[in-house]
Structure 1
Amino acid sequence: MDIKCSYISCKKPASFICHCSDVSIVACSKHFKAHINSSPELIHNPESVFKPLSPILKTETTKALQKTLQNFTESVSTIKETLQCLNRAGDFLVKSLNKRKKICKKYIQGLVESNEFPIASTERYRLSDEVTLKDIEKEMKNVISGLEIEDLKFEAYKLINVLDSLNLTERIESDIEDDRDKWPYLDNKLYFFEDNTKSLVEFNPVSCKSKIKPIEIGEDQGHLAAICEIPGGKVFTSGGFSDTYRENSYIIDLKTNTSEVLPRIRPRMRACATYLNQSIYLFGGWFNNSTCFCDRIDLNNKIVVSISNLPSNIGNTSAVAINDKILISGTSNFLQLYNTKDDNYSIVSRGLTFGTDNLLIQDKNRVILLSKPNIFVCDMNNLENWINISSGASFESTTSKPVIRGRMAYFVDMSMNIYQFNLDTFVLKKMPRFNS
């Protein structure tokens, strides 16, 4: 915000700040002269409110401001569009409720005047006019059923996500400090390739919209590849499957839509990619069968390092970074912690039973294990104690890195279905088919 002159009724921008007393004076040129004349006994040592920046800080500050401007511009557009959708969905819901209000009033009037209530009996032969509580409950369900509230809830969630995204302080500080390694939620958006194409889908969790980015890349890409964001506005992708296994790995520049081929990494599918401290980790996965081999990609030197194998062949791996360790889940109820310094694995919980399709989500100081059909949660500092808090989750195999916005986590499965997972209610919802 503009720094305004602190004198009452003055709307001019401030030019100077003076620390001549316990209370600093911020004033425009005119009122600063008046301040000096009114307090000649004080020692005035004025400073300009405009400070010169070093070339590096100037560049970083400009980039941060441009990014903030872009975020505000996108938010304004999304808010306007969402409010229009909210109005339409709200109007439709109000009409439905008013219709049901009339029905309720009509039924009440009928009961008062003639002690009668309409019952649509499904019994072919009914020998008595006697009405049971079951009859009443059935008719009452007909009165309240059919309310279309999902569209309204969906638009409301979108608006909440936009409002949450307007808190940009941490994002700007991160841009200026360029210290993304300390931020565990690196992924800002969902990225995945349309199967057997070179088209990268970018899903924005704030606007809940997708766009297609044609990428200059060596070959058509498949599904269930290991893919994640890395610093510098780039995306790492490796492996996947479409008719055959994809054997190449790339770093994609999201600004230029170009790709850089990496040294050969052992091909696989059904394994997620996890970024930590300028490295990407790949654990197990599937290559004709579940596998145990694991790799670390050193992004500084662009080399591939083989790390310790998993204790057994594990497919459908998911992982989250916890300090210098990585929690890994996978098939056969696999749940272990990899120590990046010691290059070894340790069991964190025994006897936990979960589905083949699974996904780890880090939510502040807790970890959520989303599986089919059960959902488990534990404290990040107590990985041995998992609580089954819900059941009924349904999704297909995924190698997605979840993106969190507000209290919603988003991920994509092998069929390009995008899901919204409520971190408070633990409700999993399939989003409308992605569109551009």
Structure 2
Amino acid sequence: MNFKCFAENCSNPLKYYCSCQKDYVFSCPEHINQHTDEGDVSLHCIKVMYKCIDSEKKNILINAYQKVSEALLKSQNSIIISINSLVQTLADFKKNTELFFRDQRVGVGKIIDSIKLEDKELIIPELSERKKILHEELQAYYDLLDKKIESFCKSTKQELSLLSELNKDYNEFYDDKIFDFKGNANLDKNLYFFKTGTKLFAEFNVINQYITQFEVNVDEAQGCLGAVCQLPGYKIFHAGGYNPDLASGYIIDLNNHSVEILRGVRGRSFACATYYDNEVYLFAGWHINANLAYCDKFSLATRTWSSLANFPAGAVYSVSALPCREFFILSTLSGNNLYKYDTKKNSYDILTQGVVNHVCNILFRDNDKCFYLANNLCFKSNGENLGIWAKNAKILTEPLGHITSKPVSRNRNVYFVSSQSRIIYKFDLETEDSSKVLTY
């Protein structure tokens, strides 16, 4: 990106940015005070632009690009082998075709020469050596064969053209960011939800604090509390919903507002969607007056669903999920347990028995500190000892509503939305308290 200092004709190295404008204001150290004195000073929020890359992140990046290079080379070699084989087959077919027709024409030529030299013919019935050649039938046959070959070649060229269009630049395979396991380990940049009873899809920008919306070409008016999360490529996964109870799912492209309809979606609401390792996980939920125990994951690679082990607490809803490196932390609607779901073993264990669950809850993380909000209570755990969760003495100022959005952290605040209560919440990581940002 070509960042420039806001000061005219300044070419100094940049150090700061300010979120007082939609597209940010960038500044060098020399001009930052000039910017903070401009306009409404209460709107300025100055942050440094860069930080040192830690060795772990650098190694992850290098390893990822090495795998990309290896994958590209492997695919190139495999495809070239297939193409060379096809080229050789076509070359052999061409050669054999040329030889066949040459031999045929040589044979016919000899007959023509023989006829030219003859001055009489054998006329004894059944002993005549020469039969009448059906040249019109022969012409019709080879005209048909010619059309078949022409059709095959045309179809093959079209198929090859389509295949060439399937080649994708590696830039199309970027995640919106690398999973931050010291943060919320999701790709969600903003809050996303349908406006209940409509086909309007809304996005709340957590930086500029405003809602934009557009109509989506979905099959039905949407309810609330559908499972939603952001996917790579600036796309949104959305499945299910409440009021009405829905068993539909979509992938919405935020770049062009196009919609992909997902098949085989099981009905659910009051459930979170969690993107992890090119799959979307959904745990339990609610559908048509009943709690659910079933859990599913959707493969983005194959566009297929597979069932996971049933939720360990039985039929429940309001399960929040926080991805860790090899497992998820899962909440539930009642009792005192948080669960650990092993993504490789497809199994659950009790992580802790030291919380007070509530149907209105959410999990998120700030560096080595994990938070669990349940109604008006806040529990915290150190990432190195997730078996112990301590309850804050302070009651949350703003109790939570039902939440199925992912948490989005910006500027020491964590944002989330209840699409049923139509409230956008904010949790201040410094004061460790909740507040209402707006009601829409």
TM-score (norm 1): 0.62
Residue of structure 2 in register with 1:405 after alignment: 410
Question: In the comparison of the two structures, how many residue pairs are matched?
Answer: 297
1:336 aligns with 2:339: yes
Change (3 A) 1:73 1:427: closer
**Contact kept in structure 2, 1:181 and 1:277, CA below 8 Å:** no
Take 2:359 and 2:308, find their aligned partners in 1: how far apart are those partners? 24
Change (3 A) 1:240 1:169: farther
Take 2:316 and 2:342, find their aligned partners in 1: how far apart are those partners? 18
- What SS does the aligned partner of 1:370 have? strand
Q: CA deviation at 1:257?
A: 0.7
Q: What do residues 84-122 of structure 1 show as CA deviations (whole Å, max 9, x unaligned)?
A: 9956xxxxxxxxxxxxxxxxxxxxxxxxxxxxxxxxxxx
Residue of structure 2 in register with 1:278 after alignment: 278
Moved over 2 A (4+): 70-73, 82-87, 163-171, 173-183
Bigger radius of gyration, 1 or 2? 2
Equivalent residue runs for 1:76-225 within 5 Å: 76=25, 86=40, 159-160=44-45, 163-164=46-47, 166-167=49-50, 178=174, 180=177, 182-183=179-180, 184-225=185-226
Q: CA deviation at 1:432?
A: 2.7
Take 2:240 and 2:356, find their aligned partners in 1: how far apart are those partners? 28
Change (3 A) 1:181 1:218: farther
Aligned counterpart for 2:433 among listed residues 422, 427, 436: 427
1:265 aligns with 2:265: yes
Residue of structure 2 in register with 1:318 after alignment: 320
**Contact kept in structure 1, 2:272 and 2:320, CA below 8 Å:** yes
**Contact kept in structure 1, 2:354 and 2:388, CA below 8 Å:** no
Q: CA deviation at 1:380?
A: 1.9
Take 1:200 and 1:84, find their aligned partners in 2: how far apart are those partners? 36
- What SS does the aligned partner of 2:422 have? coil
Aligned counterpart for 1:345 among listed residues 345, 348, 370: 348
Q: CA deviation at 1:433?
A: 3.0
Take 2:361 and 2:373, find their aligned partners in 1: how far apart are those partners? 6
Counterpart residue identity of residue 245, structure 2: Y
Change (3 A) 1:208 1:165: farther
Take 1:12 and 1:188, find their aligned partners in 2: how far apart are those partners? 31
Equivalent residue runs for 1:66-81 within 5 Å: 74-76=23-25
Q: What do residues 12-61 of structure 1 show as CA deviations (whole Å, max 9, x unaligned)?
A: 99xxxxxxxxxxxxxxxxxxxxxxxxxxxxxxxxxxxxxxxxxxxxxxxx
- What SS does the aligned partner of 2:426 have? strand
Residue of structure 2 in register with 1:63 after alignment: none
Change (3 A) 1:422 1:328: same
Q: What do residues 389-408 of structure 1 show as CA deviations (whole Å, max 9, x unaligned)?
A: 13134121111101001200
Take 2:265 and 2:283, find their aligned partners in 1: how far apart are those partners? 12
TM-score (norm 2): 0.61
Gaps of 5+ in 1: 3-10, 14-67, 88-154
- What SS does the aligned partner of 2:23 have? helix
Gaps of 5+ in 2: 3-8, 12-16, 27-31, 65-169
Counterpart residue identity of residue 250, structure 1: Y
Residue of structure 1 in register with 2:361 after alignment: 358
Take 1:356 and 1:164, find their aligned partners in 2: how far apart are those partners? 37
Percent of aligned positions with the same letter in both sequences?
31
Take 2:228 and 2:269, find their aligned partners in 1: how far apart are those partners? 11
- What SS does the aligned partner of 1:338 have? strand
Counterpart residue identity of residue 206, structure 1: I
Q: CA deviation at 1:185?
A: 3.5
Residue of structure 1 in register with 2:385 after alignment: 382
Aligned counterpart for 1:367 among listed residues 367, 370, 387: 370
Change (3 A) 1:433 1:340: same
Residue of structure 2 in register with 1:44 after alignment: none
Q: What do residues 414-435 of structure 1 show as CA deviations (whole Å, max 9, x unaligned)?
A: 222101110121121101334x
